[in-house]
Amino acid sequence: MFKVLVSDPLAKEGIARLKAEAQNGAGLEVEVKTGLSKEELLRIIPEYDGLIVRSETKVTAEVIQAATRLKVVARAGVGVDNIDVPAATERGVIVVNTPNGNTIAACEQAFLLLLATARKLTQAHNTLQGGKWERKQFMGVELADKTLGIVGLGRIGTEIARRAQAFGMKVIANDPFVLPAYAEKLGIEMVALTEIYRQSDFITVHSPLLPETRHMIGKAAFEQMKTGVRIINAARGGIIQEDDLLEALNSGKVAAAGLDVFEKEPPKLDAPLLQHSNVVITPHLGASTEEAQIKVAVDAADSVVAALNGELVPNAVNLPGLSREALTELKPYLVLSEKLGRLATALSDGPVVKVEILCQGQALPNHTKLLGMAALQGLLQGTSSETVNLVNAQSLARQRGLEVVETATKEEGQFSGLTVSVRVQSQGGSSDAATGLRTFDGTLVNGEPRIVRINGYPVEVAPVGYLLISRHIDMPGIIGNVGIKLGNYGINIASMEVGRKQRGGEAVMIVSVDDLVPPEIIQELSKIPGVENLRFVSLGD
């Protein structure tokens, strides 16, 4: 008999789903106990196999340690900040969220802001409530025949596009990981980010917040936009540089902005941006609909039942259920595979159309399928606002038309132990004789993940932190030039690795640095004679 605790208010439909499973002889007992103190939760949690929360209950490492029977924690919603995911993973507890339930709500919130900025809705409303009948000062614009630029064409971005087309808008989009064929079916033109800025009358942001996308839309981006553009952000605070947005609003470059998210939440309520007359603001209401709350409650209930029955859960944010022994064995290889996938995405010249994952060596562990899933997770991570995890990586790859080939063999490779290789082919790529092929190999060195080859060039680099990766001609002065220029900008080099196949031929250099390298510095480094290609990659911890 499995026992499930619901410790936060949950839509009655979710409770009903759990109780229906219990009545159907699923071996399930459900208890609803909300408003628990930390001490009360710690006292009773050892009795339960499943836990459903919203944002109120704090599932700390201490709670997880006390939950000796716990197998799954479900968050009825998207964010899992109130759950110690690493602690849960360490204990083999599955953590799931429910992102699909919020898709329509988030889409409609963004579109609401778009309409409100077009017709100066809130300004007119506030003026009328203030006792004034004003019409002339609230002249708006129509959506029909305007161009909407969508930054990030995931689930929410796609739903936005459908609604915009119904209003007679031309839709263009930028998402480096969406294949043109997918967009073409939807009647969407894929363009460069600079074209989004140049062509759009309205811009809506639906990208994930990553080191690479933080403050992506700032002063330089605003300067490229049409005068009178309207911009919407109902995705993640921090993608738009708020001070630069305020300046663009004050100058008239941006006619209006609609914001549901902010870099710091709650923001300072007296902040000039929030008080600006041409800004429509809402307090992060993207998921705040009755329907969304029902959907996330039902999804959370279904996920708990599936996990307790030993099934793979589509929205697991950590790992599928594994024994502690298997998890211990796989953990460093999972980290390695995921980082190789992230590296492959970062260094691709265009949308990836095919990925081959090879696990090779006498030390081949069980569950090698998960290593392929981890590589796909890394490959797709950050390509949209959707959560990508071990369980849903394969289905997301299929949705995008990505061809995946996985191979496992105990034949010994060049390195002792297990080697994981990720080979990608990108559309329009320039590597490997213009075929767009790139290969990344990794293994464990003294038990720690290491990148050991890039396109056949031998290296040995820890796949963590900030990396500058160049392809250049093996000639005197390049390494010194890179070091000097980084030093001039106060960027410290943590380590440097160079791999070559022959003297005077092509070589690969990987520079690990302590700080984010701005685009203008990357551009300057790319101009060093002999440097053919240079990329900045953030691989995290």
Active site residues: 236, 265, 284
- Could you write out the DSSP letters of every residue in 282-351? -SS-TT-SHHHHHHHHHHHHHHHHHHHTT---TTBSS-----HHHHHHHHHHHHHHHHHHHHHHHH-SS-
How far are the Cα atoms of 103, 206, 387 from residue 100, in angstroms, in the given order?
A: 5, 15, 10
Tell me if residue 104 falls in helix, strand or coil. Answer: helix
Measured on CA atoms in the order 86, 92, 98, 99, is the torsion positive or negative? positive
d(CA 227, CA 321): 53
CB of 73 closer than 8 Å to CB of 95: yes
CA angle, residues 160, 161, 164, in degrees to nearest 5: 85
What is the maximum span of the chain, computed from C-alpha positions, in angstroms?
81
Residue from 79, 80, 99 nearest 88 by CA = 80
| Residue 156 backbone class (left: φ over 0; alpha: ψ -120 to 50; beta: rest) | alpha
130 in helix, strand or coil?
Answer: coil
Helices (H) and strands (E) in the chain, counts: 19, 22
The rounded distance, in Å, linking the Cα atoms of 174 and 69 is 46
Neighbours of 58 (CB within 10 A): 14
Alpha-carbon radius of gyration of the chain = 25
Buried/exposed code over 117-128 (b: 16+ C-beta within 10 A; e: otherwise):
bbbbbbbbeebe
